[in-house]
Amino acid sequence: MGKSEIRTATARGARTPKKASAPARPVPRPARVKAEAPYHHGALREALLQAAERVLERDGLAGLTLRAVAREAGVSHAAPTHHFGDLTGLLSELAAVGFRQFNAAMASSSNAATTPLEHALARPKAYVAYAQAHPGMYGIMFRTERLDYSRPSLHEAAEASFAGLANAVGMMRQEQIRGDALTLQQGAAIARAWSMVHGFTMLLLDGRLEDILGRLPEGTTPERLLEAMLMSPVTGKPPGP
């Protein structure tokens, strides 16, 4: 790989000079999938985000660089700068995409639940399931230090995630949760639910629960362990005799 920076798209020099075919369509970049790339991409921002997601799933967090994303999208390495400012910007927008996917998964799983027990377990299970299905995305959302929450898209998506969680905990406690004030018990319940499922997910993704899982009865899955975690008291023995 001597020269690097290979353009995946076609050569740049010989290009249609004046729009030969396609007699004037209003849409900036219609259904063109395999023609030669024009100088102006037309929807580079979305294309870059999708390319970033592909790179992330394929090469992991370490492989997710600005230049790799540009390569994947078939544009010059400096093209992302114009749309995202810098790497933090790209990561932040990608994290926002992740939060939206995440929120959608949580909502649909919650809607599918019927019994109270299912309702109680649906969201935590969906939480872990999303992280296992998209470990790279989850890493972007919760492992990276380089996120800019002042970006509206990220702020809103993360906020919605938190609101959904708080709401679910409130429903489970059968009380209304006001947006602006919480009792210590309410706050503790929310923080406990979030901490538990988030901590479990991170430890699971990092392989740090293998020690426990390996010592459990044969064939115990992480899901089963999570269920058991959620359905027993926190500290000490049950107060019975």
Q: Where along the sequence are the contacts to DNA (CB under 7 A)? A: 1-2, 4, 12, 15, 19, 28, 37-42, 44-45, 65-68, 70, 75-79, 81-83, 86-88
Least distance to a second copy, CB of residue 4, Å: 22
- Distance between CA 107 and CA 78 in Å, rounded? 37
Residue 180 binding: pick among DNA, a second copy, none (C-beta 5-8 Å cut-off by kind):
a second copy
**Whether the Cβ atoms of residue 213 and residue 222 lie closer than 8 Å to each other:** yes
Least distance to DNA, CB of residue 96, Å: 17
Q: 27 vs 181, which CB is nearer to DNA? A: 27
Least distance to a second copy, CB of residue 115, Å: 13
Least distance to DNA, CB of residue 47, Å: 8
Residues that bind a second copy (CB under 8 A): 60-62, 120, 139, 142-143, 145-146, 162, 172-174, 179-185, 187-192, 194-200, 202-203, 206, 208-209, 211-213, 215-217, 220, 224-225, 228-237
Residue 119 binding: pick among a second copy, DNA, none (C-beta 5-8 Å cut-off by kind):
none
**Whether the Cβ atoms of residue 54 and residue 134 lie closer than 8 Å to each other:** no
Name the DSSP letter for residue 80: H
- Distance between CA 73 and CA 9 in Å, rounded? 9
Q: 156 vs 206, which CB is nearer to a second copy? A: 206
Give residue 31's identity as a one-letter amino acid code. Answer: A
| Cβ neighbourhood burial of 62 (10 Å; 0-12, 13-18, 19+) | exposed
Q: 86 vs 175, which CB is nearer to DNA? A: 86
Joined tokens for residue 192: 């406990």
Q: 13 vs 179, which CB is nearer to a second copy? A: 179
Residue 217 binding: pick among a second copy, DNA, none (C-beta 5-8 Å cut-off by kind):
a second copy
Residue 137 makes CB contacts below 8 A (sequence gap 6+) with 53, 56, 94, 97, 98, 101, 102
Joined tokens for residue 225: 């362990």
Q: 129 vs 203, which CB is nearer to a second copy? A: 203
**Whether the Cβ atoms of residue 96 and residue 151 lie closer than 8 Å to each other:** yes
